[in-house]
């Protein structure tokens, strides 16, 4: 069975990778994704120009419905991840994620990457929901347009954006109208569902500490929103803009569904955090099984082919 995809001229021999933020904070974690059977690439933790400790206190929790996190953008700095990516990009195309706290931070990091020997893909994270006082840029269509306009005056390497989930059809139209004006290599949709709240039933307290317990939701709870955002953007974006589908992947059928809605690559967050890098080989084999049931031997045969009832 053929389970490959191409983005910006790069061929991915496996279509699974980690979701930014999960299992990608340190060289040790990144090496485990790089070497994991079934993983076709990796993305580094979203970086800022300088190292950040992130939010204090308990900032991640698993629950029946998935996960809630308010990490607060802890990372070891752009230079750390840039060095790792340059050292390991010969093996397979890699994604470098950046999440500046301002437009200038983002542009400064893009200039540094442009001037470097990195030849992989950059994922501009416009959707971190957990930095206190910082809104998710992806919900501000004018600012998103402004950042991309300035970025493309100098940035020539493959660039994509990590988007927050949208919940209004009008917003699918609006973000697509912005993104279609730029030569983006891909969009990654969705990031966590921002600012949910979960209760610890034993203590009647919030599950996590930062921001009074408000954090991004991932896992099973995110699947319907992930499918809708992959489908909604696939229907609206220029075909040259590829899609990384993220959200709610627990088994091979979840991978299959994201592809059916239009995903080229599929990234795994909560389930990777819970199961570890062996999850990729499990998902790959489960996807193969699902494809055999449907008599498909290539993901290209059903990518984006969700049928509607009307
Ligand atoms: O809290 C985080 O570090 C975080 N958490 C998320 O769920 N998404 C993000 O983009 C980020 I930058």
Mutational test site, ligand 1, from 53, 216, 217, max ligand atoms within 8 Å of CB: 216
This prediction has a pTM of 0.99
Residues 68 and 66: their CA atoms lie apart, in Å, by 7
> How do the pLDDT tens digits run along the chain, 310 residues long?
999 999 999 999 999 999 999 999 999 999 999 999 999 999 999 999 999 999 999 999 999 999 999 999 999 999 999 999 999 999 899 999 999 999 999 999 999 999 999 999 999 999 999 999 999 999 999 999 999 999 999 999 999 999 999 999 999 999 999 999 999 999 999 999 999 999 999 999 999 999 999 999 999 999 999 999 999 999 999 999 999 999 999 999 999 999 999 999 999 999 999 999 999 999 999 999 999 999 999 999 999 999 999 8
Structure tokens at 164: 């927050």
CA distances for 101 relative to 45, 109, 134, 174, angstroms? 15, 11, 7, 23
**Residues having CB within 6 Å of any atom of ligand 1:** 21, 46, 69-73, 99, 125, 127-128, 130, 191-192, 216
Report the separation in Å between the CA atom of 114 and the middle of ligand 1, taken as the mean of its atom positions: 24
Q: What domains are defined for the chain?
A: 5-55+72-194+219-301 (3.20.20.70)
Decide if 127 is catalytic: yes
Burial class (CB in 10 A: 0-12, 13-18, 19+), 115: exposed
Which of 18, 45, 46, 77 has most ligand 1 atoms within 8 Å of CB, for mutation?
46
Residues with Cβ within 8 Å of 230's Cβ and at least 6 positions away in sequence, in order, are 189, 190, 243, 245, 258, 261, 262, 263
User: Annotated catalytic residue: which of 46, 70, 97, 128?
Assistant: 128
Asked about 261 being catalytic, the answer comes back as no
Distance (Å, whole) CA 217 – CA 247? 10
Q: How far is CA 47 from the centre of its chain?
A: 14
């Amino acid at each position: 069975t053929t389970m490959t995809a191409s983005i910006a001229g790069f061929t991915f021999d496996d279509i699974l990778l980690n979701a930014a933020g999960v299992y990608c904070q340190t060289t040790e974690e990144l090496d485990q994704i790089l070497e994991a059977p079934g993983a076709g690439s990796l993305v580094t933790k979203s970086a800022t120009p300088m190292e950040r400790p992130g939010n204090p206190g308990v900032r991640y929790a698993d629950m029946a419905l998935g996960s809630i996190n308010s990490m607060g953008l802890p990372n070891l700095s752009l230079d750390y991840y840039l060095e790792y990516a340059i050292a390991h990009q010969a093996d397979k195309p890699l994604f470098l994620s950046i999440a500046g706290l301002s437009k200038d931070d983002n542009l400064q990091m893009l200039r540094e990457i442009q001037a470097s020997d990195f030849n992989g893909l950059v994922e501009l994270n416009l959707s971190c929901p957990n930095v206190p006082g910082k809104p998710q840029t992806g919900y501000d269509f004018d600012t998103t347009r402004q950042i991309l306009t300035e970025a493309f005056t100098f940035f020539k390497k493959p660039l994509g954006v990590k988007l927050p989930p949208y919940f209004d059809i009008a917003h699918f139209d609006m973000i697509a109208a912005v993104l279609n004006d730029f030569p983006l290599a891909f969009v990654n949709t969705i990031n966590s569902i921002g600012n949910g709240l979960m209760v610890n039933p034993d203590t009647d307290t919030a599950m996590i500490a930062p921001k009074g317990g408000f954090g991004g939701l991932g896992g099973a709870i995110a699947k319907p929103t992930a499918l809708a955002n992959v489908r909604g953007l696939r229907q609206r974006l220029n075909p040259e803009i590829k899609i990384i589908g993220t959200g709610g992947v627990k088994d091979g059928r979840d991978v299959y569904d994201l592809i059916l809605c239009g995903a080229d690559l599929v990234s795994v967050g909560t389930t990777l955090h819970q199961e570890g890098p062996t999850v990729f080989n499990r998902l790959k084999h489960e996807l193969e099984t699902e494809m055999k049931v449907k008599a498909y031997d290539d993901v290209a045969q059903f990518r984006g082919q969700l049928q509607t009832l009307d």
